[in-house]
Amino acid sequence: MHLANRLVTLALAVLIGATAIPSLAQTDSGWKKSSPATDRYSGSDAGNKTPFAGAAADAAAPITPVQTTPLAGAPAPVEPGITRARVSKGSGALPNDQGQVWREYDIRPYTMRVTTTARPEQAIVDWILRETGYEAWHSEPVGLLSANHDVLRVYHTPEMQAVVADIVDRFVNSAASAYAFTLRVATVRNPNWRAKALPLMTPLPVQTPGVQGWLLAKENARLLIADLSRRTDYREYNSSQQLVSNGQSIVISTMRPRSYIRGATVTPVAWPGYQPEMGTIEEGFSLEFSPLLALDLAAADAVVKLRLNQVEKMVPVKLDLPTTVAPNQRVQIDVPQMTMSNLHERFRWPTDRVLLLSMGVVATPGPSKDNPISDAVTDAMPMLKTPPRADALLFVESAGVVAPSPEPPTARAATLPQQSFQGRY
């Protein structure tokens, strides 16, 4: 009888405890009180409490943590408590503590005539960021820069608005809409061409180490190109008739993939016990050119981004991958030995001059021409065979106003005289 009373008393205690103990949920940071879903961005939840008032409410009814006995060798429990950023709705208005103003620029005169890209307005945004710097839009004072196909929206100080207006005017200027530039990418094996051409060139300051720049009169540039063309070690990599319109960009690339075995993965269940891991390297050159004329058309700015990659050789490495069938198995992989050169700089020069840039003696941007005499010597003596090197040159010239190509005449369709076969067929 006493035993039955004790069991009834214990059952009642369990029921009372189940209603008094709050529900607990286990998370990665420990046990905590379960609560309704909250929205930290709207500042409300199912219990009409903000996320910032919840801490005070929970403090009024502290929860006794569940005591657990750690197992031997188990990692230490993670300390509970995750700190989150405070989120508020703010004042609901853009700050103008430094006199920021809102302006909307009509960029349709530029975007309507550009049909070579899906988002021509991105070129305007890129040039604004180059001129003003990225930090000006992500720090104090508060600023905003947004564009679509029709409108450029800017929120910033009047001084910054003046800089933006100058860039936009250079894009929408109708007098510069027909202007274009020509590019010529070439290499010369021996840089001694400078000895004869030096009196024709005016040095231009360049920030990139190893790169030199000059300005030439257009007549002198033609003389220099004609003299270089007579050399056997001179080579061009693009068409000199290729035009780049003002405010637009072009990418000239000779990059080509080169595959090699860069590693091996052990596969005991498949023959021959390993799986080769293939790698790919892009070899060649990539040139990105973005010009922009000044408002008076007397000068031009251009961003030149040139990347040169060349694989000098593949260094072989032997890996030991023994298997039950081939205990002495060895696998060869390759480690590329590469040469890279990069140029990413902005230049300004008068449009009546030619800009000439030299990357110095670097890896050739493309495969070298076959020379039977030199190839026979290097094949006989491999230690004399070295990767090709050359002086990489870039000529940039303003072609002026380029007349649009005339529209083809309307084609006249030939017609046959109406015939009647009177239902014969």
Neighbour tally for 100: CB within 10 Å: 19
> For the residues of 49-87, what is the DSSP string, one character each?
--TTTHHHHHHHS--PPPP--PPTTPPPPPPP-------
The secondary structure of 254-281 as a DSSP string is --EEEEEEEEEEE-TTSTTSEEEEEEEE
With bands split at pLDDT 50, 70 and 90, how would you rate the model's confidence at 9?
low
Q: What is the pTM of this model?
A: 0.70
Is residue 275 predicted with pLDDT exceeding 80?
Answer: yes
Comparison of pLDDT for 251 and 11, the residue scoring more = 251
Q: How far apart are CA 36 and CA 305, in angstroms?
A: 54
Please give the pLDDT value at position 403: 57
Q: So what's the pLDDT on residue 198?
A: 92
Half-sphere exposure of 313 (CA within 13 A, CB side): 8
Choose among 359, 248, 252, 254: nearest CA to 302.
248
- State the pLDDT at residue 26: 44
Question: Given CA atoms 136, 137, 143, 146 in this order, what sign does their dihedral have?
Answer: positive
Between 39-48, 68-77, 215-224, 296-305, the lowest mean confidence (pLDDT) is in: 39-48
Q: What is the mean pLDDT of residues 406-420?
A: 40
| pLDDT tens for each residue of 28-61 | 444 444 444 455 555 544 444 443 344 333 444 4
Task: Give bridge partners of residue 188 from the DSSP assignment.
Answer: 234, 391
Mean pLDDT of the chain: 80
Residues of the chain above pLDDT 70, percent: 71
Of 244, 238, 239, 294, residue with least CA distance to 114: 244
Ranges 49-63, 73-87, 89-103: which has the least confidence:
49-63
Of residues 350 and 382, more confidence is placed in 350
Burial grade of 51 (CB within 10 A; 0-12, 13-18, 19 or more): middle
Average pLDDT over residues 334-354: 94
Q: How buried is residue 27: exposed, middle or buried, by Cβ count under 10 Å (0-12/13-18/19+)?
A: exposed
The mean per-residue pLDDT over the stretch 197-201 comes to 94
pLDDT value of position 52: 37
- Cα–Cα distance, 165 to 234 (Å, whole number): 44
d(CA 81, CA 50): 18
Which pLDDT band holds residue 336 (cuts at 50, 70, 90)?
very high
The band of 366, judged by pLDDT with boundaries at 50, 70 and 90, is: low
pLDDT exceeds 70 at position 410: no
Model confidence at 21, pLDDT cuts 50, 70, 90, reads very low
How far is residue 330's CA from residue 66's CA, in Å, rounded to a whole number?
Answer: 57
Q: Give the pLDDT confidence score for residue 344 in this predicted structure.
A: 95
Q: Who has greater pLDDT, 43 or 181?
A: 181
Would you state the pLDDT for residue 184? 94
- Compute the distance between CA of residue 422 and CA of residue 256 in angstroms, rounded to an integer: 64
Radius of gyration of the chain (CA): 36
Q: What is the pLDDT of residues 141-174, one digit of tens each?
A: 999 999 999 999 999 999 999 999 999 999 999 9
Residue 320, CB-side half-sphere exposure with 13 Å CA sphere: 2
Q: Is residue 96 pLDDT above 80, yes or no?
A: yes
